Amino acid sequence: MSAEPPRGERDLHAAVLAIADEVIDPCSLAQGVPAGLAEMGLVHSVALEDAGAGTTRVRVRLRLTAPGCLYGVAFERELRARLLARADVAAVEVEWDGTFDWTPEDMAASLRARLEERRGALRAAGSAA
């Protein structure tokens, strides 16, 4: 079993995921259920490395829902800008996972529930028409 990372590192890791959730997936907007990158399950991993002077180098590995997704560049640009706005982040590296193994089960359970609620409301509205 590996040792638990120091509290500051755990806090920054959580902050990286929270910032990733500020980057909204346009497809989720189109579905009427806005969701960020982490909530969508698009953040594959986060690695933190001491960059000296109280700063950290952040490496985020992202994935896309499908090979044809055109939003990857926008996701990377937005995430990088938001992370670099933090005083404790010295550098950001965004990597892409090319396995395209994302499935809807990778979404947060709360997002899957919101999607199902939205779909139910749409079905009900369609049958009432």
Euclidean distance between CA atoms 25 and 3, whole angstroms: 34
Give 11's pLDDT tier (boundaries 50, 70, 90): very high
The beta strand positions in 1-127, using DSSP E, are 43-52, 55-62, 89-96
Closest CA to 114 of 38, 31, 23: 31
Euclidean distance between CA atoms 91 and 59, whole angstroms: 8
Report residue 44 as tokens: 């594959």
All domains in the chain, ordered by first residue: 7-124 (3.30.300.130)
What pLDDT, in 10s, does the model give residues 69-126?
999 999 999 999 999 999 999 999 999 998 989 999 999 999 999 999 999 999 998 8
Euclidean distance between CA atoms 84 and 77, whole angstroms: 11
φ, ψ of residue 89 in degrees (nearest 5): -110, 115
Contact indicator for 35, 24 with CB cutoff of 8 Å: yes
Per-residue pLDDT at 42 exceeds 80: yes
